């Protein structure tokens, strides 16, 4: 009898979940730091800023007041109303609170929307490169992600033309992110309108991940939610702009009757999102909080404006200036015959800078791309650039 391991008894889809390369690099960076090496972290996909004071204060108050029981599956009514009011105030988009569902992060929102829309065997169009969890979560559900290569010619975003060309029987949804991880690019409103029209035409749903909403620099901050109310699902989170990654709180917005069904699903899947976090998030839209967040947005913009030309000077290819998030997705310098996986390992070991290889985001041009995150102070970014420059001069 051949010996079995616990893993061999797991489902095929569980075993197919791939580890993130960035996690291996992060662990190695930790080992090097423990040995006394200095590492510049340009791989981290979360803001370096702490959660704003008014949110922390509201969270402390919630705990002091004993707000530690379940909320309803859809979330605190007051938080749903606050988000609805935020859509009106900031985006001039009226949205009924009943169309908003509070989730454990954008991650919980994505899982709910995918489970609500898709069945095993269905297909979904996503971008290559894109946030790796789309692909992995879809595969866990037995859904086939169809990764459409996108390049700088379309600002690393899907267009109706690309989607139409990639369309195959069984496509039930398109997932896009704006601004995008890893490219920081945003979808132009007219492109999104065309994608939505295509979806409507083909009976598919459009899922727009707006987790980096608020972190836009040269363009107006937008929401896709104004496009329409049928088959449109918007994913969002308190993680990035609001600086609340560890609180695990996000939301989704969708058609009212679908959200009702998703509330029942949420009840079964996770009962409700974290209660103290929901009370804390009630302070996220206070003018005092928004003032802090807007100052940070400008700090991110200054970092981008510093890092982008510095990387271009080193020969990295960033054809279009990214308009949001805190990432630069860069093509490796011409003539450098090293795969990005090897490059990120070597730059970590030999130069003390941690980056994310393109392989975490897709397959198409992954070996020739890396992602830089500007989630560090300008001085650290300068130091990272200096180290990479010295390293490139040596190889």
Which residues does 248 contact at the CB level (< 8 Å), separation at least 6? 104, 105, 108, 273, 274, 277
Q: How far is the CB of 133 from ligand PMP (least distance, A)?
A: 6
Binder to ligand PMP among 13, 72, 107, 193 (CB under 6 A)?
Answer: 107
Is 132 a binder of ligand PMP (CB under 6 A)? no
What does each C-alpha distance from 63 to 46, 288, 292 come to in angstroms? 25, 21, 23
Q: How far is the CB of 97 from ligand PMP (least distance, A)?
A: 20
Q: How are beta strands 250-253 and 232-237 bridged, if at all?
A: antiparallel
User: Would you say 174 or 385 has its CB closer to ligand PMP?
Assistant: 174
Q: How far is the CB of 37 from ligand PMP (least distance, A)?
A: 26
Task: Please identify, among the stretches 105-113, 261-269, 272-280, 289-297, the one whose residues bind ligand PMP according to the rule CB under 6 A.
Answer: 105-113
H or E, element range at 103: strand 100-103
How many amino acids of this chain bind ligand PMP (CB under 6 A)? 13
For residue 49 the two structure tokens come to: 């800023």
Map the footprint of ligand PMP across residues 233-262, applying CB under 6 A. Answer: 237, 239, 245, 250
Q: How far is the CB of 179 from ligand PMP (least distance, A)?
A: 9
155 close to 176: Cβ distance less than 8 angstroms: no
Is 185 a binder of ligand PMP (CB under 6 A)? no
Task: Please identify, among the stretches 47-55, 100-108, 111-119, 191-199, the one whose residues bind ligand PMP according to the rule CB under 6 A.
Answer: 100-108
User: Would you say 177 or 351 has its CB closer to ligand PMP?
Assistant: 177
Is 105 a binder of ligand PMP (CB under 6 A)? yes
Angular region, 99: left φ>0, alpha ψ -120 to 50, beta rest: alpha
What span, in angstroms and rounded, lies between the C-alpha atoms of 28 and 46? Answer: 19
Give the CA count within 13 Å in the CB-facing half-sphere of 329.
31
Q: Name the DSSP letter for residue 317.
A: B
Binder to ligand PMP among 22, 82, 101, 106 (CB under 6 A)?
Answer: 106
Q: How are beta strands 123-128 and 171-177 bridged, if at all?
A: parallel
Residues in touch with ligand PMP (CB under 6 A):
45, 105-107, 131, 177, 181, 209, 211, 237, 239, 245, 250
């Amino acid at each position: 009898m051949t010996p079995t391991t616990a893993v061999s008894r797991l489902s095929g889809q569980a075993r197919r979940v791939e580890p993130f390369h960035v996690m291996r690099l992060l662990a190695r960076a930790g080992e090097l730091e423990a040995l006394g090496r200095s590492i510049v972290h340009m791989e981290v996909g979360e803001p370096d800023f702490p959660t704003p004071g008014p949110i922390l204060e509201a969270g402390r108050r919630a705990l002091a007041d004993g707000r530690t029981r379940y909320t309803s599956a859809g979330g605190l009514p007051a938080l749903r109303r606050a988000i609805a009011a935020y859509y009106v105030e900031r985006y001039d988009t009226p949205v009924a609170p009943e169309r908003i569902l509070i989730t454990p992060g954008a991650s919980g929102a994505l899982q709910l929307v995918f489970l609500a829309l898709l069945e095993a065997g269905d297909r979904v169009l996503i971008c290559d490169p894109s946030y790796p969890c789309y692909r992995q979560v879809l595969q866990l559900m037995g859904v086939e992600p169809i990764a459409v290569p996108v390049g700088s010619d379309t600002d690393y975003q899907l267009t109706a033309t690309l989607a139409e060309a990639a369309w195959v029987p069984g496509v039930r949804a398109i997932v896009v992110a704006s601004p995008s991880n890893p490219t920081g690019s945003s979808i132009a409103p007219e492109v999104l309108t065309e994608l939505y029209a295509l979806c409507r035409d083909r009976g598919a749903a459009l899922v727009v991940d707006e987790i980096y909403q608020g972190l836009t620099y040269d363009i107006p901050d937008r929401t896709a939610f104004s496009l329409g109310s049928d088959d449109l699902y918007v994913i969002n989170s308190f993680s990035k702009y609001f600086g609340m990654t560890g609180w695990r709180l996000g939301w989704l917005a969708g058609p009212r009757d679908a959200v009702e069904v998703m509330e029942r699903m949420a009840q079964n899947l996770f009962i409700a999102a974290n209660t103290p976090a929901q009370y804390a998030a009630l302070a996220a839209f206070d003018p005092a909080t928004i003032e802090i967040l807007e100052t940070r947005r400008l700090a991110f913009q200054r970092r981008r404006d510093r890092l982008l030309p510095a990387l271009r000077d080193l020969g990295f290819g960033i054809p279009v200036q990214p308009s949001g998030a805190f990432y630069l997705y860069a093509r490796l310098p011409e003539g450098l015959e090293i795969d990005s996986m090897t490059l990120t390992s070597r730059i970590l070991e030999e130069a003390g800078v941690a980056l994310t290889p393109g392989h975490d985001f897709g397959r198409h041009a992954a070996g020739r791309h890396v992602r830089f995150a500007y989630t560090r102070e300008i001085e650290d970014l300068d130091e990272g650039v200096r180290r990479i420059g010295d390293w490139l001069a040596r190889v």
